Structure 1
């Protein structure tokens, strides 16, 4: 589902932003810790997840967007130094409880949001394709 460059990039990052839509149509964006799973799903965690508006939003409307990005390092060999790079994931999410949630022990609950990607966009992370990828995966 993810290219090797996308997977490598996602596993090197610790924070992304989840976009959900509330029951009244109001968008909400929140920074969250995450984990990229071997099956191509993304787990989002944190403390008290089931008490959050984003959790309730996902239960009502599972369509989500998730972005992980940063600035390309200004160093030799970097792709487009000083510009943005990242991965955007559009898909559906579900709420569930797991035994091994993402995040730091003591700062996480077993309740998570899991994203099932449908569309993936990436930019400035793969030296073989510096302009990136844009594709449907489901």
Structure 2
């Protein structure tokens, strides 16, 4: 699943996302830091990530969703003052990297890598170019 150039640019302009996982008591949504990789996968990091409920949830149920969104500024040429964003649904892969992908003094080397299988985006491309691609 490939992201569009507008989706990549928007995702790279953001620093916070929300990760949805399924846990033993139902859905869990948490704010997370992330990095977009060159192959359009996303690495989610955090301090002591391996000890977190989201990590355990992703280990038990690999299907996850990641939402990256914000409010467009009033002078945005595409969606002035409107919400905009990208939702990525996909499969989680748990990895330990040689170095943290972000915040090396704070985050652990463990990551949840999201492999997109569906992308839904809104108000980040000119009118008529919102997409929901499976």
The Cα offsets for residues 74-97 of structure 1, whole Å up to 9 and x where unpaired, read as: 01x521211100000001101110
Task: Check if 1:100 corresponds to 2:103.
Answer: no
Q: Distance in 1 between matches of 2:57 and 2:80?
A: 37
**Aligned to 2:132, which of 131, 134, 137?**
134
Unaligned runs of 5+ in 2: none
Tell me which residue corresponds to 2:43: 43
Whether contact under 8 Å (1:33, 1:102) holds in the other structure is no
Q: Aligned equivalents of 2:113 and 2:64: distance in 1?
A: 10
- TM-score (norm: length of structure 1): 0.92
Aligned to 1:50, the other structure's residue is in SS state helix
In the alignment, structure 1 residue 117 sits paired with structure 2 residue 89: no
The separation in 1 between residues aligned to 2:130 and 2:72, in whole angstroms, is 13
Equivalent runs, 1:24-103 vs 2, <5 Å: 24=25, 26-75=26-75, 77-103=76-102
CA contact (8 A) 2:79 2:124 kept: no
Give 1:130 shift.
5.0
Partner of 2:21: 20
Give structure 1 stretches of 5+ with no counterpart.
none
Equivalent residue of 1:40, what SS? coil
Q: Is the 8 A contact 1:86 1:123 kept in 2?
A: yes
Contact in 1 for aligned 2:45/2:108 (Cα 8 Å): yes
Structure 2-normalised TM-score? 0.94
Moved over 4 A (4+): none
How many residue pairs get aligned? The number is 133
Distance 2:13 2:98 in 1: 23
